[in-house]
Structure 1
């Protein structure tokens, strides 16, 4: 699941709408909406993104947050390390190879390191070894991974 898909699912649940109801309202197939929520489709088109924001009544900051989440939710992201150091290329390749094996605490630590906000419900961050470090949760403008 992508950050955008997770947020759509949260909003849909809060609205009490089924996947089929939302898909019908947006005039898309429920299979496509399901694939979008689960990260099996790429980022939504600008038109579909506007439709989704309108469906949930999102304006201003909330709509901009959905745009940020959509931009960061390509399930097949690529990293161009051309012109960077060998260490940059090594990190990109190791991450691509091992991302599925990272523990939640390690993912949280990487998000914090990269300026993202971990989606951990308990507000804990972790260092790269996976050890938890108690820190206050950052505000909604501190990164693209907002779950509020």
Structure 2
């Protein structure tokens, strides 16, 4: 599941909206929305994010959060480490190999480290 898909599901369930109802309102297929929620489709377009924001009445910070989550919702990420240090390349490769086995607290710590400002 992607960050955008998880938030979309929460919003939908909170409102009591089915996939079919939301799909009709957004003029997409229920299968597409299901795939989006489960991380089987790439990140949504800016237009779809805007439609979701309008459907749920999200404004300001909440709407910006949906856009941010959409940007971070590519389920198949490619890292280009060309021109970076050998340590950066090694880190990227080790992360790719181990990401499926990392515990949630380890992911939280790594994520927090990425938030540090230099």
Gaps of 5+ in 1: 117-148
For the residues of structure 1 that align with 2:101 and 2:54, how far apart are their CA atoms?
37
What is the match of residue 83 of structure 1? 83
Match of 1:14 in 2: 14
CA-to-aligned-CA distance 1:95-135 (integer Å, 9 cap, x gap): 1111001011111111111119xxxxxxxxxxxxxxxxxxx
| 1:63-104 deviation line (CA, Å, top 9, x unaligned) | 111100000110011111111100100010111111001011
Structure with greater proportional helix content: 2
| Greater strand proportion | 1
Deviation at 1:61, TM superposition (A): 1.2
Q: Which residue of 2 aligns with 1:31?
A: 31
Structure 1 segments of 4+ aligned residues over 3 angstroms from their partners:
none
Does residue 54 (structure 1) correspond to residue 54 (structure 2)? The answer is yes
Query: CA separation in 2, counterparts of 1:88 and 1:35?
Result: 32
| Matched residues, number | 116
TM-score (norm 2): 0.94
- 3-state DSSP of counterpart to 1:114: helix
**Structure 2: stretches of 5+ with no match in the other structure:** none
TM-score normalised by the chain length of structure 1: 0.76
* Deviations 1:10-64, CA, capped at 9 Å, x for gaps: 0001111011111111111000000001111111111111111111101111111
